[in-house]
Amino acid sequence: MIPNHLSPIWTALAPALGNHLWQSTLFAIAAGLLTLILRKNHARARYWLWLAASVKFLIPLSLLVGLGSHLAWSRDSAGTNAGLYFAMEEISQPFTQPTMSVIPRATPSTIASSSLIQLLPALLEALWLCGFLVVVFVWYLRWRRVSIALRNAEPLREGREVEMLRRLERLGGRRKRIEFFLSPASLEPGIFGMGRPVLVWPKGISEHLGDAHLEAILAHEVWHVRRRDNLAAALHMLVEAVFWLHPLVWWLGARLIEERERACDEAVLESGSDRQIYAESILKICEFCVGSALACVSGVTGADLKNRIARIMTERVARQLDFSRKLLLSAAGLVAVAVPIAIGLLSATQTRAQSQAQSTATIVPKFEVASIKPSNGIPMAGFEIVGKPFTGIMWKADRLMATNFTLRGLIRVAYAVQDEQISGGSDWINSEGFDIDAKVGKSVVDEMQKLGRVHGVSGRTRMLQALLADRFKLSLHSETKEIPVFALVIAKNGLKLQEAKPGNTYPNGIKGPAGRPIGAGTLVEPERGKLVGQGVPVSDLVENLSQELGGRIIVDKTGLKGKYDFTLQVAPDESQSAIFTALQEQLGLKLETQKLPIEVLVIDHAEKPSEPQAQISSAPVLLFEEASIKLNKSPSPVPGRHLYGDRFNATSRTIVLIRAAYGSNGRILSGDLASVQALT
């Protein structure tokens, strides 16, 4: 019920976003389990696992599912117009997206709850936007602080710091130099930037560091550049800004910084630095400087300092990944990528199989012959009851007949909507009536009978929609509007409808033009102000009441599912309020006013059927597969015509063939008859 009151965009986005969040959370949990298995291995392996869990928040699995679907279609449908299909497709989703019809029936609820539900998406969007802007603004202030420090810094071209940095660059195989800047600010040494990183070095700190300490700190910073830690940190900052409501992303950020610094520590120690000197270097930096304000500025003092120093001093060298752990990581990565693609392949194969199996049913059937004429006020044959003409439409197994029916009325029938759900268009759409006589081919009739009653009715409405688009050039679109509607409920004095008896033929009921009973399933107005129903559902009464009340939308809230007999009598000259009174007193039903968001059809374009097209038949023209015509030069030809099962032979004068083909005689033919009569 709730999705009916939400905007189409929110209805489509919310389930997809929910599925993306739980999939990313599950992916992060799996990455966490792998880090536990690798807890005795190098920190860089755990770092890349946490980074993959972070980046997963930016990459929906549905992209891989869509890729698999595209691969399946492109492989089996080469040369066809198959575009890449991207959809926020749910994979074993706990959040399911409701199926929406083109013009759904309005589902009523209280006005208060409807208004609150309508405001819910806007409130959630405003909350997210506020949090996003706060996170970005705080980071901007921190970045501005580092940027100001860099602008006030002076480039350092020579000195022992620069010489050590250049030597470490050569040892690390880095060709592009890292610029060295001395800053008067008390920020810790750190790498600033991603494309062209620079080292910001606090002025005066070198005086407190020996050569060994200085080399250890610079080696740490060079490793940050080699690992491109600033780029990874910037990606996670984007994740935190977009998904700031999810506590897991902040926890992931702490794990990334911890493993990042630990990985650099391991790299520095493995390169030959003394553990005690390296630990002293970090402590000296902490005594002299303030920690970096941004995660994307890689410094020295990140992570838990106490535990970090303890690990540097006591921990053994981390173990390399053995074959079993490499195999485990490879299998995990393969599963993470291959499973969504495989789901896309299987889904596309299943969808293709279903589409092929149902191709016949999905083809919109068409009328074999259709005649559309402007109504002259005289009803078509079959549309009179006791000599009284009326506007009506009638479906038969092989025929659609409508008399004095406006285009607005035809749209109402074709799309199962009420008058208030149709807007736009010219005045003639509501005022000019048409007579329609459309016949259905036998093959289409047989096919719809096989589909059953429900699908057969759907096929009829699609045929009428196609006819309106073809002959009236009708085009329209749907919009959601909040409009007042009536809700049909059972009155307090109880229901007075009589339930119809199964199999009742109503021999004494309403009779047709030939004097025979019309039977069950009939809702007619035999005389002005009187409505008689014989074995009809409440939905038929709702549609009739809507027309009587000027096309107002009426929502059935009675909950009645059966078929009923009733007679509703209202004085012809009474106002609409008399219908309300008669409905409650005679049928035990009541109309209540509500205001609900309803989907309406907006007419974009419509044309009157042109006269030359009014009676064009769409029946196929039969042609001979092969034909041979030769001039007979015999002095005394024997005339004759023979029609076999699959062949026609004739030896005859041309004038005789013309008469046979057009069913005419010589008296109504004109032109150069002399020359035609001479040909055989």
Per the CB < 8 A criterion, the answer to whether 392 and 525 are in contact is: no
User: Is the pLDDT score of 617 beyond 50?
Assistant: no
Mean pLDDT of 334-358: 67
Residue 477: enclosing H or E segment and its boundaries? strand 475-490
Q: pLDDT tens-digit profile of 532-549?
A: 888 889 888 888 888 777
Backbone angles phi, psi at 403, to 5 degrees: -130, 135
353 and 371 in a single domain? The answer is: no
Coil, strand or helix: which one is 370?
A: strand
350 and 408 in a single domain? The answer is: no
* pLDDT number for residue 638: 47
Per the CB < 8 A criterion, the answer to whether 520 and 534 are in contact is: yes
* pLDDT number for residue 621: 44
Q: How would you write 516-570 as a 3-class SS string?
A: CECCCCEEEEEECCEEEEEEEEHHHHHHHHHHHCCCCCEEECCCCCCEEEEEEEC
Order of strands across the sheet with 399-406?
369-374, 433-439, 399-406, 392-396
* pLDDT number for residue 316: 66
Structural tokens at position 329: 């990581």
User: Does any domain span residue 489?
Assistant: yes
How far apart are alpha carbons 440 and 355 in whole angstroms? 25
**DSSP secondary structure letter of residue 206:** G
Higher-confidence residue of 524 and 203: namely: 203
State which amino acid sits at residue 168: L
160 and 237 in a single domain? The answer is: yes
User: Does any domain span residue 340?
Assistant: yes
488 and 403 in a single domain? The answer is: no
How far apart are alpha carbons 348 and 371 in whole angstroms? 42
The closest of 299, 206, 643 to 657, measured between CA atoms, is 643
DSSP secondary structure of 422-452: EEES-THHHH-EEEEEEE--HHHHHHHHHHH
Higher-confidence residue of 111 and 295: namely: 295
User: Is the pLDDT score of 341 beyond 70?
Assistant: yes
153 and 294 in a single domain? The answer is: yes
465 and 519 in a single domain? The answer is: no
User: Is the pLDDT score of 462 beyond 90?
Assistant: no
User: Does any domain span residue 123?
Assistant: no
* pLDDT number for residue 85: 28
Residues 6+ apart with CB under 8 A from 319: 40, 41, 42
Q: Which one of 289, 314, 339 terminates a domain?
A: 314
Residue 282: enclosing H or E segment and its boundaries? helix 275-288
Backbone angles phi, psi at 102, to 5 degrees: -65, -50
* pLDDT number for residue 370: 85
User: Is the pLDDT score of 107 beyond 50?
Assistant: no
Mean pLDDT of 580-598: 84
CA dihedral sign, ordered 30, 35, 38, 44: positive
* pLDDT number for residue 299: 62
Higher-confidence residue of 99 and 504: namely: 504
338 and 328 in a single domain? The answer is: yes
Q: pLDDT tens-digit profile of 159-189?
A: 888 888 888 888 888 888 899 998 887 778 8
Torsion over CA of 409, 414, 418 and 422, rounded to 10 degrees?
A: -80
User: Is the pLDDT score of 412 beyond 90?
Assistant: no
Structural tokens at position 522: 């009939």
503 and 412 in a single domain? The answer is: no
* pLDDT number for residue 84: 31
Lowest mean pLDDT among 36-45, 76-85, 143-152, 329-338: 76-85
User: Does any domain span residue 432?
Assistant: yes
How far apart are alpha carbons 466 and 457 in whole angstroms? 14
How far apart are alpha carbons 419 and 449 in whole angstroms? 30
* pLDDT number for residue 623: 63
CA dihedral sign, ordered 286, 290, 293, 297: negative
265 and 365 in a single domain? The answer is: no
Lowest mean pLDDT among 151-155, 399-403, 651-655: 651-655
Ramachandran sector of residue 48 (left: φ over 0; alpha: ψ -120 to 50; beta: rest): alpha
84 and 145 in a single domain? The answer is: no
Coil, strand or helix: which one is 624?
A: coil
pTM of the model: 0.48
Per the CB < 8 A criterion, the answer to whether 419 and 412 are in contact is: yes
CA dihedral sign, ordered 262, 268, 270, 272: negative
How far apart are alpha carbons 286 and 299 in whole angstroms? 11
User: Does any domain span residue 114?
Assistant: no
How far apart are alpha carbons 663 and 245 in whole angstroms? 83
User: Is the pLDDT score of 22 beyond 70?
Assistant: yes
Residues 6+ apart with CB under 8 A from 166: 177
User: Does any domain span residue 125?
Assistant: no
Lowest mean pLDDT among 110-124, 286-300, 620-634, 647-661: 647-661
Q: How many domains does the chain have?
A: 5
Give bridge partners of residue 405 from the DSSP assignment: 434
Q: What does DSSP say about strands 384-385 and 475-490: parallel, antiparallel, or unpaired?
A: unpaired
Mean pLDDT of 39-59: 90
233 and 267 in a single domain? The answer is: yes
The closest of 440, 452, 438 to 397, measured between CA atoms, is 440
Average predicted confidence (pLDDT) for the chain: 75
Coil, strand or helix: which one is 249?
A: helix
Provide the domain limits for residue 263: 130-314
User: Does any domain span residue 118?
Assistant: no
Per the CB < 8 A criterion, the answer to whether 66 and 16 are in contact is: no
User: Is the pLDDT score of 613 beyond 80?
Assistant: no
User: Does any domain span residue 414?
Assistant: yes
Instruction: Give me the count of residues in the chain.
Output: 680
State which amino acid sits at residue 194: M
* pLDDT number for residue 248: 92
How far apart are alpha carbons 356 and 362 in whole angstroms? 10
* pLDDT number for residue 625: 67
Per the CB < 8 A criterion, the answer to whether 392 and 402 are in contact is: yes
345 and 452 in a single domain? The answer is: no
* pLDDT number for residue 595: 78
